[in-house]
Chain A
Amino acid sequence: MNDTHGKTPGARQASRRQFLIDMAKTACTVGLMGTGLALYTKQSRALPPLAIRPPGALLEADFQGACIRCGLCVRDCPYHILELAKPEHNVATGTPYFVARELPCEMCEDIPCVKACPTGALDHQLTDITKSKMGLAVLVDHETCLNFLGMRCDVCYRVCPLIDKAITLEAVHNQRTSKHAMFLPTVHSDACTGCGKCEKACVLEEAAIKVYPIKLAKGELGGHYRLGWEEKKKAGKSLIDDQNIITMPTRRPEDNP
Chain B
Amino acid sequence: MSARAIGAEAVAEKGWFASHKWLILRRSSQLAILALFLAGPLAGLWIVKGNLAYSLTLNTLPLADPYVLLQSLLAGHMPEKLALIGVAIVLAFYFLVGGRVYCSWVCPVNLVTDAAAWLRGRLGIKGGAHISRKLRYWVLAMTMVLAAVTGTIAWELINPVSMLHRGLIFGIGMTWTIVLAVFLLDLFVSANAWCGHVCPVGAFYSLLGKWSPLRVSAAKREACNDCMDCFAVCPEPQVIRPALKGAKQNVGPAILSPNCTNCGRCIDVCSKDVFRFGLRSAK
Contact = CB atoms under 8 A, between A and B. Distances in A.
Question: What's the interface size class on A, roughly?
Answer: 35 or more
A120 B50 contact: no
B79 interface: yes
Interface string A61-89: 11011111111101110000001101111
A162 interface: no
Interface in A50-66: 61-62, 64-66
A69 B166 contact: yes
A69 B56 contact: no
Contact of B170 (A33, A67, A84, A120): A84
Interface residues of B, number: 57
B135 A88 contact: no
B55 A70 contact: yes
Given A38-B154, A70-B55, A117 B80 contact: yes
B138 interface: yes
A61 B69 contact: no
Nearest to A121: B77
Interface stretch (B21-29, B144-152, B215-223): B144-152
A147 interface: no
Given A68-B72, A120-B77, A75 B155 contact: no
Interface in B208-265: none
Contacts of A141: none
Contacts of A30: 135, 138-139, 141-142
B279 to A, nearest CB: 34
Given A30-B135, A94-B166, A118-B64, A69 B76 contact: no
Given A71-B51, A75-B40, A86-B173, A64 B152 contact: yes
A165 interface: no
B175 to A, nearest CB: 6
Contacts of A22: 132
Nearest to B132: A26
A229 interface: no
Interface of A: 22, 26-27, 29-31, 33-34, 37-38, 40-42, 44-45, 61-62, 64-72, 74-76, 83-84, 86-89, 92-94, 117-121, 124
10 contacts: A29-B138, A61-B151, A65-B72, A66-B77, A68-B68, A68-B156, A70-B50, A70-B53, A71-B50, A75-B49
